[in-house]
Chain A
Amino acid sequence: MSISDWFKAREARRYTAVNGERVAGDVPDGVWNKCSSCKRIVYEGQLVANLRVCPYCGNHFDLTAFERIDLLADPGSFAEFDAGVGSTDPLGFVAAKPYTVSLESARERSGLTEGVVVGRATIGDHPVVLGAMDFRFIGASMGSAVGEKIARSFEVATSERRAVVLCTASGGARMQEGMLSLMQMAKTSAAARRLAEARLPYISVLTNPTMGGVTASFAVLADVVLAEPGALIGFAGPRVIEQTIKQHLPKGFQSSEYLLEHGMVDEVVVRGQLTARVTTLLGYLAGGGEQA
C-alpha cells in the first residue's frame, strides 16, 4: 500500500460515520462533498435532497443556473430564450491565456453559451422572465453577452407585462471585454429602469458571490432584494479593500447578514423557503393592488 492509498483509506475510515440516510435515485453510491463551511462530508444524494444545503451547518452550496431555475420555476414552465447569445473576443484579448480559450473551456465545462440563462416561466402561476447566473462560466462575469441577455430580459418583460426574477452570482464586469463590459452596467440599469417605469415588479435574489459591476448595476435595482444566507455580496472585493486600507476585515464583512443589518437587502431567505417567498412577493407586487 502506497502512502497516498493509506491516506485515502484513512479518510474513508474517518468519514463512514456520517453515512446516514441514503437517497435512492441516479446518484452513484459514495459520491461525497466536503462542506466548505463545517468541513464535514455530505453525500451527494443527501445534498440533492436538501437543495444543496449542508444538512449539518446550513451552508448553501453553489447552484448551477438550471438547478436554480428548477428550484424557482413552476414545473415544466420554463422556456429559455436567447440561448445562443454568446460573447466573442472583440478586443483580441490575451493575458496569461487568450480570452477565446477561456470562453471555449467555459462552454465545454458548463454546457452553456454564456454566464446567464434567461427565459419565460411562471412562479406560483405568475408570468415572469426568470434568469439565473452560473458562476462556473468565467465567474458569471458580465461582458457584452450577459449584458445583452439581461437587457433583453427586462425588455421582454416590459413588452409582455411580466415580472422579472433574477438570481445573481458574479465576480463583476468581465475584464476581457474592457469598456464594452463596463458599459453593460449602464445598459442593464437603463433597461431595469424602463421596467420600473412600466410599474412591473422586479425581484432579485443575490447568491454567493455577487460582486463588482453586477452588484453595482441591475442586481440591486430590484423592488425587493433578497439574499441567500452567507453569500458574499459587495462592490469591491475583500482583498482589494484589505490592500487599500491595510487592515484585516471584520468577520462576516460583506455577508448577506451584514448587508441586512446595514439596510441593504430586504430579507435573507433560506433556500428551502425561497420559492414560496418569491411567490408571496409576486402576489403583492404583480397583483395590481387596489388602484390598478
Chain B
Amino acid sequence: MTRRHVMEFERPLVELEAKLGELRQLDLTANPELAAEVAALAVEIEALRESTYADLSAWDRVQISRHPDRPKAQDYLAAIFTDVVELHGDRCYGDDEAIVAALATIDGRRVAVLGHRKGKNTRENIARNFGMAHPEGFRKAMRIMRLAEKFGLPLVTLIDTPGAFPGIEAEERGQAWAIAESLALLSGLRVPVVAVGIGEGGSGGALAIGFGDRLIMLENSYYSVISPEACASILHKDAGKAAEVATCLAMTATDLVGLGIVDEIIPEPVGGAHRDPGEVFGAVRGRVSEALKALSGRDPDELVSMRYAKLRAVGVIEEVQG
C-alpha cells in the first residue's frame, strides 16, 4: 500500500479509519460484543467524515490545493486535450519547465494552452522548481500568447503555482519586467482567454497567466495576493498564524466570486480533486468548452474592450469630494 499524504485537518479521521481497518482484520465471529462496537465505530467514522469535509476553512483548502496527489497541469493536458504538441523555450534564454506551453484540441476546438507545471515527485519538482517560474517561463508564456493571437487560437490557462521564483537570477533577468509585460500582453490579447485555477494561485506569478475573459476556479483552489504564511510572518511576525490570516485574505473561490473576481466555481469530490480526478477532468472539460463556445466568434475589439471593462471594475473605493 502506498503511503497516503494526510492533511492536518483530516488527521483525526484518518487515524480512526486506520484503527477500523485493523479491527476488521480480526476474526470477530466469536466475539459479538466487539463486533457491535466495530459497527458503531464505522457509523461514527461516517459522521466524522461528513463533518470533516463539510465545512472547510480557507486554510484547509490551501492544504488540499497543495496536496501532492492533486491533478497537475500536465494531467489536465493528458486527460482533457487531444493532439497535444508541447512547445519549448523563450527564444531568449532557455526553457523554463515550471511553465508548460502547448497547442492542443479540446472537444474538437483547437487552442493554445499555458499552465504552471509542478512535479509529481521530488525529482520532477526540482526540474520544475516546484512550479515557480523564472522570467524565461513568463517570456515563454508570452511567446505562446502571441502565437495564439497570430493564428486566432483561443487561449486556455491552468493556474497552479506558489508564486514566481524569488531568487538572485530571477531578479537579474527581470522577474518584475517579465510579469508586467505578460499582464499587459494578456490584457489586450485579441483571442478569447479562459483561465482556470486548478491549485495554488500564488500572487504575481499566478496572475501573469491567470486572468482572462472567464476566470474559473476549482472549489479547493486558492488565489491570493500573498501566501498566508508570508502574510502572517509580515503582519504577526509569526508564520504559525497562517490559518487565521488565510481567512482574512479572502482567497477561496467562494470569497472571490463574492468580490466579483471569479466567474464560476467547479465543485470537487468530497475530500478534494485527488479523490476522483476523473470526475474533475470531466467537469473542467465541460466548463472550459462551454466558456470557449460562448466566447467564440466575438469581434476581437469587442473581446478586448470587454476584458478591459472587467478588469477596470475590480476594486472597492470611496470618493470624498474635496
Contacts from A to B (Cβ < 8 Å): 82-88, 90-91, 93-96, 113, 143-145, 147-148, 151, 173-175, 177-187, 189-194, 196-197, 212-213, 215-221, 234-237, 240-241, 244-245, 247, 249-250, 253-254, 262-264
- B175, A236: Cβ atoms under 8 Å? yes
Q: Which B72-86 residues have a C-beta within 8 angstroms of A?
A: none
The 0/1 profile, CB within 8 Å of A marked 1, for residues 162-176 of chain B is 001111101111111
- Residues of B close to A85: CB separation below 8 A: 317-319
- B-side residues, CB < 8 A to A, are 164-168, 170-177, 179-181, 183-188, 203-204, 207, 211, 223-226, 230-232, 234-236, 241, 244-245, 248-251, 255-256, 259, 261, 307-308, 311-312, 314-322
State the CA gap A85–B184 with chains docked (Å).
Answer: 24
- List the B side residues contacting A184 at CB < 8 Å: 314-315
Are A190 and B315 touching (Cβ within 8 A)? no
* Known A86-B320, A178-B224; contact A236-B245, beta-carbon cutoff 8 A: no
- Inter-subunit contact A182/B317 (CB<8 Å): no
Contact B317 A86 (CB under 8 A): yes
- Partner of A181 from B176, B185, B225, B308 at Cβ < 8 Å: B225
Are B320 and A215 in touch, CB under 8 angstroms? Answer: no
Determine the chain B residues whose CB is within 8 A of the CB of A192 once the complex forms. 184
Interchain CB contact under 8 A, A95 and B251 = no
In the bound complex, what is the Cα–Cα distance between A241 and B168 (angstroms)?
7
A-B CB contact pairs (8 Å), 6 listed: A95-B232, A183-B261, A193-B185, A213-B203, A241-B167, A241-B171
Cβ contact within 8 Å between B259 and A185: no
Complex Cα–Cα for A244 and B162 (A): 13
A221 vs B164: C-alpha distance in the bound complex, in angstroms?
A: 18
Q: Which residue of A83, A151, A262 contacts B173 across the interface (Cβ within 8 Å)?
A: A262
Asked whether A113 and B320 contact (CB < 8 A) given A185-B183, A217-B180, the answer is: yes
In the complex the two chains form, is A186's CB within 8 Å of B187's CB? yes
B224: A residues at CB distance < 8 A:
178-179, 182
Supposing A91-B248, A236-B166 touch, asked if A83 and B172 sit within 8 A by C-beta, the answer is: no
Q: In whole Å, how far is A154's beta carbon from the nearest beta carbon of chain B? A: 11
Chain B residues lying within 8 Å of A86, measured Cβ to Cβ, are 317-320
Which residues of the other chain, B, contact A87 by a CB distance below 8 angstroms?
316-318
